[in-house]
Amino acid sequence: MLVSDPHEAWRRYVSTGALEPRLLRPAVLHAWERAHEGGADPSRPRAETLSADDTLRLRGREERLISAAEPYMRALSRAAGDERHAAMLGNADAIVLDVIGHPESVKGPEAVPGPGSLLSEGACGSNGIGTPLADGGYAELVGAEHFISGFHPFTCQGVPLRAPGGDVAGVLSVSVRRVQAGRRLKQLLECAVRGIEAELLMHQVAHEMDGLLRTRPEDAAQLERVRQDVAQAMTVGRLRLDAAARQARGEDIRAHVEMLWRAQQVFESFVRRAEYWRDVADETAVGPFEPVRLTDEVRLLVELLGTDAATRGAELHVAASDDPEWTVDRRSLRRALFRAVQAALDATPAGGQVDVRVRRSRGDPAPRIDVTRRDAAVLVATVAVEAAGR
């Protein structure tokens, strides 16, 4: 039977070099095994640190990640309240880039490792920066579960951050000076990571768009409006996370969880919108053919253009349809659909409504999507779906 006693496990390891599987949680044991193989020294009081110049250069190279993470680190710090804590950002090599938190934890005699500190497991064993990177997911280290003694007063929770392409971009972690992991902090941390990943995606997509729009000035205004609506969605996500952080120390747990859940929904919706926007803007992107439920695509477009329609005083409506999946070139379909709906919105006066409906007549090999102005009962456009099969 496992009786977790990390302090005793640490004491035995330091005196004999033996790892005691019975005394450690499996995730922590694996981290210690990696640290042991990497030659980390458990008696080390603190982490190795880059020189001030190297740290400055590193922070300069990682400026985008640092600025994307900063509001989320402040939200985490706010949630931790008055207790000693630090929100930490590390790069993909487990080097600390930024620390925000309680003054005693950032600058005091018991400060957490600052920018430039190397926290890979090979250098200092299990910790809230190196272990999530090594594990590829959420990790928490409570007190003596940390491999080196200098970290024993803290509980650290960390989650890796992924760049838009899926590569690891870094790690977000929160450390508190107590020997107990906080469930609310864990949820907030995971939501903050989704937020930072969405910020990185937004930055990348906006950068790509700058190049694309120079070659397509005729579409610039439309696509810029949609970009602004995507940024608006991001604003709502940030504000919700911030509100959840402010509620984290309150007594209304339900309100806090609800707010956090809604923030998460916004970030997920943001990612869908940003990807849709990218597909629409990039004229050269084609294929691959993939299974698509057309009504879902229409719903996503309506979500994307909903604010634009509302700003024009018009309404966009998707007529529900129980269509099966079709194998289509999703990107080309999105562009055609976007143009058709935009044309309908351009033609619709304030107070009007645009309906989008997927339909398939008997005998047709593939469905089509009708875009109709309901106020004038006019079919504005039909998008013929080029399907490679069902």
Partner 1 sequence: MTPEDGAPASQRGPVSTDGEVRRARGKGRVLLVDDDPDVRELLTDQLEAEGWSVEQARDGREGLDVARAGAFDVIVLDHRMPRMTGEEMARALRAAGIRTPIVLVTADRHAAAIARRVGLRYWLTKPFDMDRLLELVRHARARGPLPAAAE
**Chain positions contacting partner 1, by CB under 8 A:** 71, 74, 199, 202, 224-225, 227-229, 231-232, 234-240, 242-243, 246, 307, 310-313, 350
Number of H helices, E strands in the chain: 12, 14
Nearer to partner 1, 150 or 237 (CB): 237
Cα-flanking dihedrals φ and ψ of residue 353, to 5°? -140, 140
The residue assigned the tokens 């033996």 is 18
Nearer to partner 1, 227 or 373 (CB): 227
The encoded tokens of residue 55 equal 């740290």
Minimum distance between the CB of residue 346 and partner 1, rounded to whole angstroms? 16
Nearer to partner 1, 97 or 259 (CB): 259
Minimum distance between the CB of residue 199 and partner 1, rounded to whole angstroms? 8
Strand partners, 157: 140, 174
3-state secondary structure at position 49 = strand
Minimum distance between the CB of residue 33 and partner 1, rounded to whole angstroms? 41
Nearer to partner 1, 311 or 382 (CB): 311
Minimum distance between the CB of residue 206 and partner 1, rounded to whole angstroms? 9
3-state secondary structure at position 380 = strand
Nearer to partner 1, 14 or 310 (CB): 310
Strand partners, 358: 369
Nearer to partner 1, 235 or 382 (CB): 235
How would you classify the pairing of strands 353-359 and 315-319? parallel
3-state secondary structure at position 320 = coil
Q: Is the backbone peptide bond immediately before 324 cis, with ω within 30 degrees of 0?
A: no
Nearer to partner 1, 62 or 199 (CB): 199
Contacts 24+ apart (CB under 8 A), 24-27: 24/145, 25/145, 27/135, 27/139
- Number of residues assigned to the chain: 390
Minimum distance between the CB of residue 238 and partner 1, rounded to whole angstroms? 5
Cα-flanking dihedrals φ and ψ of residue 115, to 5°? -55, 135
Strand order in the sheet with 378-384: 315-319, 353-359, 368-373, 378-384
Minimum distance between the CB of residue 335 and partner 1, rounded to whole angstroms? 23
Nearer to partner 1, 199 or 323 (CB): 199
Residues 377 and 370: their CA atoms lie apart, in Å, by 12
Minimum distance between the CB of residue 220 and partner 1, rounded to whole angstroms? 11
The encoded tokens of residue 67 equal 């600025």
Minimum distance between the CB of residue 63 and partner 1, rounded to whole angstroms? 17
